[in-house]
Structure 1
Amino acid sequence: MSAPTVGAAKARKKRKKKHGKAAAAVQVAVQPSRWRWLAYNGGAAAVGHCLLWGVAGDPMAGATVMADINLSLVPVATFTLTCTAAYAGWKAGGVLRGLPGLAGLAARPAGALGAAFWGQGTGHLVTEFMSWSAPWSALLAPLAVAGAVGSVCWLYLERHSAGWTAPLRWAARIPLATVVLSSLLYAPGALL
């Protein structure tokens, strides 16, 4: 063998040794963080679940609330559509805000009210959609409800808690962890 080939083979052997040691170090370093993550989120979920249990007097309180929401899915969906339409109407009214006089002042509230009135009349549309998409709409409803509630918890608490101290960040995690735990405990059995 020539000298460059022997040198290249030795370099490859050294890289393999370094890579093996680095992989072992990474594996050891990742393991405790998983336990820390589980303790952090599990503790938050346990505290939230115990708070719900204490307030409602029922150990399955969060699961019962999730089941009630899924059983009254048409009114919940109508309420959600009404709020979303009102927000969209408010934003759309902002385009006409530059009109002179009272028309400019009333553009946003009028847009929000008009869209909210439209949203109130969508109950029959939701009912028709659910009957058209059955059984999938009933099977996916728990996922949609838990996802929506979890998104609201993340949007208003989790996202803003990044710069807080560790105990406050943990306290801000309690609602989201409780929603996830309640959804896992519910696991659409209450509808069956």
Structure 2
Amino acid sequence: MGDTIVYAGVKFQIMTPYPDRPNQGGLMCSAEIRPVAGRNWEPGPPSPESIELGRVVDRGIRESGCIDVDNLCIIPGEKAWQVILDLFAISDDGNLFDAFALAGIAALKTAMLPEVRFEMSDTDRPLPVSKTPTMCSYHKVGGRFVYDADGKEELGGDERIHITLGDDGHVHSLQKGLKGIFTADEFAEIMEHAQGRCEELRQMILRAEG
């Protein structure tokens, strides 16, 4: 990911469970990119790019089922924990998608539910995260696939795709961007590479956990 630098933070609040999921907590994910990240970014409300970044990362985490949302319920139908994952870019040198996804799952796996502060328990407890979904992104530049594209390569990209894989290699989310298309053979080639690369990223997260 080159000189791209991001950080992720997790905070919690009490929510009223949704009527169709009275025994579950919730997850929100947002991405913020300010001018400090690079000259291409401007101040103001969230840009379409930052909204897409937040949604793609959110979907990969949500669809993986890595957070036990049933374990976030406090009082069925009345109170539950809402997990808020905030993602910030400090330096954008390309591939913010993978950087945000990596930082996000690492932050979730080390987060603690603040039960002492909310007077629910004498001790805080870890956020119930049981899986480690990881994302791999690919750009097609000049007819060739580029994994982990830097800023210049992204500018020349015709198509891009983001793949989130689970611990067992299961595909939890796919997101295609830009206007081009991928053939079946191209997609098969990307998937084969993604299986190995996502596992490398997963092991990196697990080693960091200790």
TM-score by length of 1: 0.24
TM-score (ref. length: structure 2) = 0.23
Bigger radius of gyration, 1 or 2?
1
Of Structure 1 and Structure 2, which has the larger fraction of its residues in strand?
A: 2
* RCO comparison, higher one (Cα < 8 Å, 6+): 1
Which has more helix, going by share of residues?
1
